Amino acid sequence: MKYLLLIYGNEEKWGSLPADELTQIIADQDAWNAKYQQTGELLGAYGLGDAVTAKLIRRENGLPAVTDGPYLETKEYVGSLYVLDCESPERAREIAADMPMADRDPVELWPILHESSPDL
């Protein structure tokens, strides 16, 4: 079964980290990515742009209406997402708990219940 892992960002927190600590965090995450890519359980890892780069797209009168995002007024935003393919929910939880930042920030784990064919 496939799962989505979500990591939330916070500009204030990330901006306050010393450069050497941020470098180590990135290296630890790269190692985690490589570890689970090698097992075949990590299908994709994606870091998102800062919240100020997010846009909301709606359709009004048949035309796109674009506004600044993110949608919720909050300090935290989705910073990274990962797609796993695991044999069991327990294995997905184990991998999520192994995320380098899980001792500092929570990791959301969502089962993916539907997947469209990539041929669509």
pTM over 0.85: no
What CA–CA distance (Å, rounded) separates 45 from 26? Answer: 13
Q: What is the pLDDT of residue 16?
A: 87
The residues spanned by each domain of the chain are: 2-111
Question: Using only C-alpha atoms, what is the Rg of the chain?
Answer: 17
At 74 the pLDDT is 62
Taking the C-alpha atoms of residue 84 and residue 50, their distance in angstroms, rounded to an integer, is 23
CB 80 within 8 A of CB 47: yes
Q: Which CATH class is domain 2-111?
A: alpha beta
Q: Which two tokens stand for residue 38?
A: 């090698």
Q: For each successive 10 residues of the chain (120 residues), what is the average pLDDT? A: 91 84 92 98 91 85 84 72 96 96 90 83
Tell me what pLDDT residue 105 has: 84
CA distances from 8 to 11, 25, 43, 120 (A): 10, 14, 19, 30
Rounded Cα distance between 40 and 37, Å, is: 5
Q: Looking at residue 13, what is its pLDDT?
A: 78
